[in-house]
Amino acid sequence: MAGRFIVLLETLSAARDLARLQMIASILIRHGFGDIVQRLGMGEALSRAGRVLRWERTEELTRLEPARRYRRALEEMGPTFIKLGQILATRIDLLPPDWIAELERLQDQAPPIPFEKLRPQLETDLGAPPEQIFSDLNTESLAAASIAQVHRARLVDGSPVVIKIRRPGIRPIIEADLRLLGRLAEIAEREIPLLARLRPREVLHQFAQSLRRELDLAGECHNAERVAHNLAGLSGIKVPRVYWEWTGERINVQEYIEGIAGRDMEALRIARLDRRALAVTGAEAVFKMVIQDGFFHADPHPGNVFFLRDNRIALVDFGLMGYLSQNRREQVLSLIHGLVERDSGRVVDILLDWSDLDDAANTTLGHDVEMFINRYHSVALQRLNLAAMLLDLSALIRHNELHLPADLALMFKTFVLLEGLGRQLDPDFDMVAVARPLVREAILGRYAPDMLVRRGWRGLAETLDLLSGFPQELRRVLRSVRRGALQIHIDIDRLEGLAERLDRAISRLTVGLVTAAFIIGTAIVMHAGGDEPWLRHLGYIGAIVCGVWVLWSIWRGK
């Protein structure tokens, strides 16, 4: 009963999202992706509506490269899909460089909403008219993105602030898009081998988590304060102050940063700031966040960086963050150690662990890793381009059909962005030299006496727990065997899909039998010549309805 209720809810949800599905399909078809629409099962269901709407390819679009067509389609589909493209741009382990470069062009910009349309929500969140809280509120937006827009203001005490306001009604739109993407990801992974290798459900899970966190503007401020606490020892980094008394899920108020935008290199030159020192400071901050803290700003592009007049760097917009567990950081350090020591076996083991594969699954990985290590081992540190090395490693992963966990993909992308920004500031910037002492300290820290003792005690405690619980677990297994309750579950790929197809086939067969019963019963009543003509009509109507349903079901299932 519960299962039928869930199916009913999914059906109602799909009907509710049909208009959005039609729009998505039409955009894909116009950009030359009609074959994907067909293979995802949208084409047949929407073909009639498509003829009415005149879905046609635009020849100008189809002459463009696939990556550019895909980027333009995402832009046209709206904010959720723009955000999806930005997440895909971080997956340098899944997509080739030309696709990454094209997706990086996705700009999270949108036309600003007139302030008067924001006012009712803003007054609700502030608990008072904004003029009572801010002495100088600029109703012209400073910046507008797909989820929120920013306005400048001053507090009553004169402190300059920025107010970030979430767009009204944006959450239901995003949730509808996520429902559609979830269904399409399941179909793509099952039916299209080329897309299945990209693990669409895993990417979508990462994307949905990131997007829902970004909808919570208070969460962004929690991230900012955590980073500020972790980087308190670095005098060259500034994180904006948060004004919590006016911050919530749909609004946050932060200190306004007066500085030079990270992409304005000409203004930086005129200000005569120490560009080399700025590059080193930024690199130290990122490596500390990644290697030591495991919590890092995952989008340090020039738009989120400001250079201050006192040779400090201000980081803003903490909506997209990366997190590395202690175990993951140890794996990264082991990978680096394996590369430095030319231990290809260790590198192969880590890559296979990340992809949940065994040695037999890939016969060329060891040779490719050896070639990769030999290529970079003899390069002097000052001539090593870390971004190029990471891109080559990502190409090796793609070639061997491996994949990076989502947290590591964000880390790789962060290092690539950092390398690019560092070389913009200083063409001779050596990011590896900055990272070397931090990495050495972290590696030595793994083998420090206190860490060895701590890991030893932890392993001993886990072993003792396992041994002490073994008799009880064995007793439970034997009890299950005696009761005949011991079950062995065997999962066979696509068995669930086969069961669904059998269920549909049996349903059609059952309705077909009911239809035949209607026809035979009606014929018997007519032959008997009864006085209830309504009974004959009822039989005809039942037979027609059931017959139409069976034909439609067979046609839909191809």
Task: Say how far apart CA 118 and CA 165 lie, in whole Å.
Answer: 8
The residue assigned the tokens 């008394």 is 245
Note whether 148 and 164 are within 8 A (CB). yes
CA atoms within 13 A on the CB side of 466: 6
Burial of 42: CB neighbours in 10 Å, binned 0-12, 13-18, 19+:
buried
Task: Say how far apart CA 406 and CA 427 lie, in whole Å.
Answer: 30
Q: Fill in the DSSP letter of residue 493.
A: T
Task: Say how far apart CA 247 and CA 197 lie, in whole Å.
Answer: 42
Task: Say how far apart CA 273 and CA 255 lie, in whole Å.
Answer: 23
DSSP secondary structure letters along 233-292: T-TTEE---B-GGG--SSEEEEEPP-SEETT-HHHHHHHT--HHHHHHHHHHHHHIIIII
The residue assigned the tokens 């399409």 is 184
Please, where are the H alpha helices in 426-532? 431-446, 449-483, 495-528
- Both tokens assigned to 300: 């340090």
- Both tokens assigned to 35: 């074959």
- Both tokens assigned to 347: 């590198």
Amino acid occupying residue 523 = A
Q: Let me know the angle formed at the C-alpha of 522 by 518 and 527, rounded to the nearest 5 degrees.
A: 150
Task: Say how far apart CA 529 and CA 448 lie, in whole Å.
Answer: 98
Note whether 167 and 113 are within 8 A (CB). yes
Q: What are phi and psi of 47, to 5 degrees?
A: -65, -40
CA atoms within 13 A on the CB side of 21: 22
Q: For the chain, how many helices (H) and strands (E)?
A: 24, 11
> Measured in Å, how far apart are the chain's first and last C-alpha atoms?
28
Amino acid occupying residue 520 = I
Q: Which residues are catalytic?
A: 299
- Both tokens assigned to 504: 């549909």
3 state DSSP class of 398: helix
Q: What's the Cα-to-Cα distance from 153 to each of 31, 72, 156, rounded to whole Å?
A: 42, 35, 10
- 144 forms bridges with which residues in the sheet? 149
